[in-house]
Structure 1
Amino acid sequence: MDITSGGPWTGTGLDPLSGRVLEFLVGHPAAGAEAVAEGVGVPVEDAERALRTLEDELLVLRVAGRPTRWRAGPPRSSLGSLLARRRGELAQAELYMEQLHEVYRAVSGSHAPHLVEVLERAEEVAARYAHLLRASRREVLHLAKPPYVTGTETAYGEGRERAAGEAAVQDGVRLRSVYDTEGFTDEMSLETALRGTAGGGELRLSSGLPVKLVVFDGTTALLPVDSDHPAAGSLVIHAPAMVAVLVALFERLWERAVPMSLESRQDWPVARQTREADIDERTHEILHLMATGMKDDAIARVLGVSRRTVQKHVSEAGTALGARTRFQIALLAAERGWLDRRPGPPGTGAGAGPAPAVRA
């Protein structure tokens, strides 16, 4: 059993070496300090120190005779007693925490920090974001829009990738992000979105997002004091009613947003045909992005193709629909149901250009 990093002993209060010594004695009853030291690969003095620690915790017993030998107690009863003591200590610590929190609330007065906190400095925002992200266990919701600020904005957006003091979404936590199409043309937003989706995050695009926002497990929300000036500070919202409103806002925006997958842009299929007309999957993706309000340059950057390729697909769609303007194309495509279908999963095919380079 590998317990070099603490392993199962972390919650017991035992150090890793004491845990290794106990494991050795469970499998080798009545062993002397020298045998224990040789078995776990440490100096004798270290083994003796660990044995005394285990004796103090009532986990091992001295065996009468010379030289002194040691025997582990029955793990279920001896470790069970240790864990019971630790649970009692944790209960006392939790009670003391509540008492401290009541003092904190009384001293803070009418500012009600238990409902809303104000973070004024960029490093505070990054550190708090990192803490909330690591503590999330179910789902993180994310709205991203310009203007972006290097550093603090990285903390708001990276999700599953390392950021803000090695913050990352834990395995098994769902990450859903909606990016504003207006800002989805710069290197920072594209790089951030790629990192999030690479870890299993879900990405959608929409135009006119009202606010930047991150919601953690439906219990805490983080948003800037002023969306137009993100460096001005952020609010941490704990009030259940306010968080519920922000979650409802996100869900409404999520439903109307266009799904996107950036994991394998150069391999998206281009030959699957629709029932309605001779339109390939690449044209379908472009029409979806065009319907969100994205311009040709932005669409080209997202899909990793040239602007000319985008214009070619738009022109072919116009010919198939009998439309002359982009507005007519979007209108007729919606009427024919082309925009109702969700984009298919990434596959293999030809015709797409190389993806743009992304900074590591």
Structure 2
Amino acid sequence: MHTDDRRAADLEELGLTNYEARVYLALIRRDVFTAAEVAREAQVPRQRVYDVLEGLTRRQLAVLHPGRVAGYSAVAPEIAVDRLMEQQRRSLGRLERLSTELAAELLPTWSSGRTHTDPLDYVEVLRDAADISDRFARIQTEAERELLSFSKPPYITPTENTAGLAAAARLRAASLTMRSLYTKDLLDDPELLDIALRFVEAGEEIRIAEALPLKMIVADGSTVMCDMPDPVARAEATTALVIRHPSLAETLRLAFQALWDEAPTLEQAMTLRTAGS
């Protein structure tokens, strides 16, 4: 593996995106770069480099030098790595607390389930993409009070998701709740961002999380649909589970709320992204 490719991969392990890693590695080669210069040096599309530089600056891995033509420089590698490690430690701490709470919440359900004569009568297993898409649409259509979802790529359902738009409008009209947490990948995809804004117009509340553990939707505090990617099959292979179990659904509602409370709104995330442009 080429040295820069290896270094970029290591930086990605520490939490940077591929573009962020490549831009940082370019910035350390010289004292100051303009955005156009670093885009060429890092081989990153010009229209993307401003967002990448804004992200590095916000994470205190790069420094903006204002002027007629703004310049950017990298912070020292040892400082950058320390800051990335600290961010990982904070994230791991949050996940450890969440996992401890989740295990404690799930244990009574698991224990009571040991005596159940047919433990799978409330679980559906779906492997076909069309079946997964249809079941997801039905969950949204049948929701009566609340829909909470973790949304992250890759997406299987049709991009228009008419069932979801109808559910958002219906729940808003009844002063009920439809909320989605997206990963920050949403901000880098104009097509998906446009779809998300249509959902906001329809009545959905959206926030942006740094990362999400899986894709899922919790309906009415009683039904959960979650995506379980196959760790050994081809990349696009996945299995979806639909679980009708109020205790599990309530536990995942708590997990959703914990991440929701820490995440910026879509408007805030978009403002942060464009602030340095």
TM-score by length of 2: 0.49
Structure (1/2) with the larger helix percentage? 2
Task: From the CA coordinates, give the structure whose radius of gyration is larger.
Answer: 1
TM-score by length of 1: 0.38
Structure (1/2) with the larger strand percentage? 2
